[in-house]
Amino acid sequence: EEETVKLESFKSMGLTSPVLKALEDMGFEEPSPIQVKTIPLILQGHDIIGQAQTGTGKTAAFGVPIVELLDHRSKKVQALVMAPTRELAIQVSEEITKIGRHAGVKVVPIYGGQSYDRQIRALEHGAQVVIGTPGRVMDHIRRGTLKLDNVKVVVLDEADEMLDMGFIEDVEFILQNVPTERQTMLFSATVPDAISRLARKYLRHPEHVSISPERLTVPKIEQVYYEVREHEKLDGLSRILDMEGAERTIIFCRTKKRVDELAEGLQARGYSAEAIHGDLNQVQRNRVLKRFKEGVSEILVATDVAARGLDIDNVTHVINYDLSQDTETYVHRIGRTGRAGKSGTAITLVLPKEFRQLRQMEKLLHVRLQRRPLPTQEDVAE
Ligand code: ADP
Ligand code: MG
């Protein structure tokens, strides 16, 4: 009997059954646009520059082919993924572990803030895929505790973020320490000059894959703004939260200090809010994230760095308590909601002096944020 295979299905890509099974377990019914474009190219051996916004499924776009390209008999490190933050490294590690589950793939994340001994033991137990932040990967190379002689696939995930965070030298050091006979993939939301330069230097005849701008905007996100003055922000925010019936909300502030102050202010008003930023140690950050993911806390107050790339499901609201410094950051922030086709609301508090910036942002994004009047106490009491 004839089997009908959809044109763009994981099956039609010729993936092995352990991987297909894993994708099914994960609830991935069909590949996202970036996955459709990149997975076959990577399987054919191409280097890739993949450009797509947050939330488009880049992790599986490289995770699936990595699992397929591994020599499952060898327990040596064959794939190295670099990610800008600890949280992202952990997240990528979790996703590749899931994709590789039925194939028995060994994935080890290595990042700063965790003991070297633990990581060394994990590496000694046989790591086929290593996911790490550049600084820590470099330290392990220098200590001789991470051997990359058998690496045949290298991925730079969120390459623009890694450069922004000052990791360029570490990244180059690492690229110079992996065999040149390899495949290199670079994924990035944006491709500024520095990324193009890096690609020219370290990629071989890369295929450029990008998801067109129209597909970048996440249509299901409702984008609104409220005009506020600084002294009204906290009360205004709490009324907005009540009006919106916000459940799982991430709120962004500009600085760590403002994150702490806002989290405290919200707690004092009876909200289950927690702060996350770079001053917390890894254990604390993981705990905060876990409580938010499990719904123990409803509101996560974050700096941009702490929230970078975090994949948290079912976030109903993203709130820009402070307007983001640039449009890209805005896109990154609101990408925390409306993930994988779910709906979400992005709310921005705008000070009178920030209007010009808001208009500029709207122009760049070809969107118009809906203006809403700040709810009054009466609105909320009803
Ligand atoms: P990006 O790296 O582009 O920001 P992620 O790889 O983190 O995006 O994916 C965003 C979310 O979408 C994750 O929760 C991921 O599990 C989910 N996802 C990715 N690909 C698919 C797919 N093909 N079907 C369903 N969900 C997917
Ligand atoms: Mg990603």
Which range, 3-12, 113-122, 179-188, is most confident? 179-188
CB 276 within 8 A of CB 302: yes
> Which numbered atom of ligand 1 lies nearest the CA of 311?
7
Residue 354: band (very low, low, confident or very high) from pLDDT cuts 50, 70, 90 = very high
Distance 372 CA to ligand 2 centre (A): 32
Q: Quick count: other Cβ atoms within 10 Å of Cβ 201?
A: 9
Which amino acid residue places its CA nearest to atom 2 of ligand 1?
58
> CA-to-CA distance for 302 and 214, rounded, in angstroms?
28
Residue 213: band (very low, low, confident or very high) from pLDDT cuts 50, 70, 90 = low
- The larger pLDDT score, comparing residue 197 to residue 375, is at 197
Which amino acid residue places its CA nearest to atom 14 of ligand 1?
311
Say yes or no: CB of residue 333 within 6 Å of ligand 1: no
CB 53 within 8 A of CB 328: no
> Which numbered atom of ligand 1 lies nearest the CA of 32?
23
Say yes or no: CB of residue 311 within 6 Å of ligand 1: yes
Q: What is the pLDDT of residue 190?
A: 85
Question: Mean per-residue pLDDT for 304-330?
Answer: 81
Which amino acid residue places its CA nearest to atom 26 of ligand 1?
28
Question: Mean per-residue pLDDT for 44-55?
Answer: 91
Say yes or no: CB of residue 38 within 6 Å of ligand 1: no
CB 68 within 8 A of CB 16: yes
> CA-to-CA distance for 7 and 133, rounded, in angstroms?
37
Percent of the chain with pLDDT over 90: 67
> CA-to-CA distance for 301 and 285, rounded, in angstroms?
12
Which amino acid residue places its CA nearest to atom 15 of ligand 1?
57
pLDDT tens, position by position, 326-339 = 777 888 788 777 76
Distance 55 CA to ligand 1 centre (A): 6
Alpha carbon 236 to chain centroid, angstroms: 29
Question: Mean per-residue pLDDT for 110-138?
Answer: 94
Ligand 1 probe mutation, 48, 59, 210, most atoms within 8 A of CB = 59
SS3 177: coil
- The angle formed by the CA atoms of residues 250, 158 and 154, to the nearest 5 degrees, is 140
Say yes or no: CB of residue 5 within 6 Å of ligand 1: no
Distance 87 CA to ligand 2 centre (A): 11
CB 298 within 8 A of CB 80: no
Question: Mean per-residue pLDDT for 24-51?
Answer: 93
Q: Can you count the helices (H) and strands (E) in the chain?
A: 17, 14
Whole-model pTM: value is 0.64
Percent of the chain with pLDDT over 70: 92
pLDDT tens, position by position, 144-176 = 999 999 999 999 999 999 998 899 999 999 999
Q: Which residues pair with 275 in a beta bridge?
A: 301
Burial state string for 300-317 with b = 16 or more CB within 10 A and e = fewer than 16: bbbbbbbbbbbbbeebbb
Half-sphere exposure of 268 (CA within 13 A, CB side): 8
Say yes or no: CB of residue 55 within 6 Å of ligand 1: yes
Span of 22-31, 88-97, 186-195, 207-216 with lowest mean pLDDT? 207-216
CB 154 within 8 A of CB 185: yes
Distance 248 CA to ligand 1 centre (A): 19
Question: Mean per-residue pLDDT for 113-130?
Answer: 93
Say yes or no: CB of residue 59 within 6 Å of ligand 1: yes
> Which numbered atom of ligand 1 lies nearest the CA of 158?
2
What DSSP line would sit under 142-157, residue for residue? HHT----TT--EEEET
